[in-house]
Amino acid sequence: MTGTAVRRSEPRRVTEAQVVDAAMWLLDMGGPAAASIRRIAAAMDVAPQAVYTYFPDTASVGRAVVERLIGEVVAATEPGTDAKSWQDDLEALALRVSRRFADHPGTVPLVVAGSTGGPNERRLAGRVRELLTAAGLDAADADWGTYLIGVYVLGAATRPDSEARFVWGLRRLLAGLCVPLGANPYW
């Protein structure tokens, strides 16, 4: 009751960001198996339990790592900067995501494990949807097209190949998105 805050506890020895830092570093060094809770804690010089103060389980640490990775891509992509065409914008965005995963192959199992459910993932999907909408697709098509592109980037991350192959597939896919299916002779 002094009016000023009572010092309630020791200053934090770890933070969420540091856990993600350590996890990423271990992932880059030793692959998915190296990023265990115990090793993350050891890298931060705390007991394994300390991690559980900030994350409820291993999977949530993985999701946080993916959120950061996606966040970096979204932050690096100012909307409408490249802007030659929506295809170019979309290609640049997909390529940025693809490269980020190629640079951090240890994170791929974490990505395919499932959606993070986080804001950065939503922002990224929103960006794709905007570009498809600006391209003239209606809301439903833009939504389904976002799924199509996301799934392609995800699948490609699990079978890394040349960038040329990735871009070739992406362009075919975008071509398919803007061809009205009614105008297609096959159905």
From a copy of itself, DNA, none, interface partner of 106 (C-beta below 5 to 8 A by class): none
Residue 45 DSSP code: T
Answer yes or no: are the C-beta atoms of 34 and 27 closer than 8 Å: yes
φ and ψ of 66, to 5 deg:
-65, -40
At 88, list the tokens.
């170019």
Q: How far is the CB of 48 from a copy of itself (least distance, A)?
A: 19
Task: Restricting to residues 56-115, name those near DNA by CB under 7 A.
Answer: 57-59
Q: How far apart are CA 174 and CA 187, in angstroms?
A: 19
172 binds DNA (CB under 7 A): no
Task: Restricting to residues 111-170, name those near DNA by CB under 7 A.
Answer: none
Task: Please name the helix (run of DSSP H) or strand (run of DSSP E) that holds residue 113, with its range, or none.
Answer: none
From DNA, a copy of itself, none, interface partner of 134 (C-beta below 5 to 8 A by class): none
Q: How far is the CB of 8 from DNA (least distance, A)?
A: 6
Task: Please name the helix (run of DSSP H) or strand (run of DSSP E) that holds residue 27, with its range, or none.
Answer: helix 16-30
From a copy of itself, DNA, none, interface partner of 30 (C-beta below 5 to 8 A by class): none
8: amino acid identity, one letter: R
List residues binding DNA (CB under 7 A).
8-10, 12-14, 36-39, 41, 46-50, 52-54, 57-59
